[in-house]
Amino acid sequence: MAYQYDFGAVFDYTPVLVKGIGVTVELIAFGAVAGVALGIACAWVRTQGPAWLRAPVAAYVEVIRNTPFLIQLFFVFFGLPSLGVQLGEMQAACLAMALNLGAYSAEIIRAGIDATPKGQYEAGASLAMTRFQVFRHVVLKPALKRIWPALSSQIVIVMLGSAVCSQIAAEDLTFAANFIQSRNFRAFEVYLVTTGIYLALAILLRQLLRLAGRCLFRKAAR
């Protein structure tokens, strides 16, 4: 007997899907902003920061980059409470995503900083700028411009990786898909629709990041 497709059984749960999309957007919005900010700070430490901070930051970057995101998520959600740090599922998911993106973006941004010609540092110093002012006004913006496509791709990857946050009951899109499938048993239709939604979110996020890059670096070039 041929399989009878029934996508209506999926769209009967449209409010659940919409809520899941909203939670996924919240996760990536916080994770992207906090993660990139953390990445910039770590990149500064590893290139120009105090020597005593470089080893701890390097250790953080290597640990995060060489362990699965799911394990990091479980450590934040299940491990930190044993140390007295109580976090809800959304707080744990946001923190884990920020820490994950921070480590990866640190290496990407560091590569952009390392590609900065020494003449730009000397030009900043000739204007009596401090080291931090040189980094902020002379080095950082051109470095971000050089690595923006790679950084944008990493943000999209982290957004797609947020699907594992459903393992700690964060009610994201994957959580919604699992919930719907457990109710209507239409696994093929549910996960096909979910795949399409993730694809649309990834394309939309990439286009938003491309637009943000154009606006940011056009303004910086003036």
How far is CA 32 from each of CA 28, 94, 187, rounded to the nearest angstrom?
6, 10, 31
Q: Percent of the chain scored above 70 by pLDDT?
A: 98
Please tell me the predicted confidence (pLDDT) of residue 134.
83
Residue 150 belongs to a domain: yes
Instruction: Kindly report the average pLDDT of the chain as a whole number.
Output: 91
Q: Which domain holds residue 155?
A: 22-171
As a whole number of Å, the CA-based R_g of the chain is 21
Please report the DSSP string for 116-158 in residue order: S-HHHHHHHHHTT--HHHIIIIIIIHHHHHHHHHHHHHHHHHH
Please tell me the predicted confidence (pLDDT) of residue 210.
95
Residue 195 belongs to a domain: no
Residue 144 belongs to a domain: yes
H runs (alpha helix) in 49-134: 51-65, 69-74, 89-114, 118-126, 131-133
Lowest mean pLDDT among 22-26, 28-32, 125-129: 125-129
Number of structural domains (the chain) is: 1
Residue 215 belongs to a domain: no
Residue 135 has pLDDT above 90, yes or no: no
Place of tokens 């500064």: 44
Q: Do 178 and 29 contact (CB within 8 A), yes or no? A: no
How far is CA 58 from each of CA 2, 68, 94, 136, 155, rounded to the nearest angstrom?
56, 18, 22, 21, 21
Residue 219 has pLDDT above 80, yes or no: no
Task: Please report which confidence band the pLDDT of residue 2 belongs to, taking 50, 70 and 90 as the band edges.
Answer: confident
CATH of the domain at 134: 1.10.3720.10
Residue 179 has pLDDT above 70, yes or no: yes
Question: For 34-47, how does the pLDDT look when each residue is reduced to its tens digit (9 = 90+)?
Answer: 999 999 999 999 98
CA angle 81, 182, 160 (to 5 degrees): 60
When pLDDT is averaged across residues 152-175 and rounded to a whole number, the result is 94
Residue 81 belongs to a domain: yes
Residue 70 has pLDDT above 90, yes or no: yes
Please tell me the predicted confidence (pLDDT) of residue 222.
52
When pLDDT is averaged across residues 72-81 and rounded to a whole number, the result is 93
Residue 42 belongs to a domain: yes
Residue 204 belongs to a domain: no
Please tell me the predicted confidence (pLDDT) of residue 132.
79
Please tell me the predicted confidence (pLDDT) of residue 220.
52
Residue 178 has pLDDT above 90, yes or no: yes
Residue 61 belongs to a domain: yes
Lowest mean pLDDT among 61-75, 168-182, 207-221: 207-221
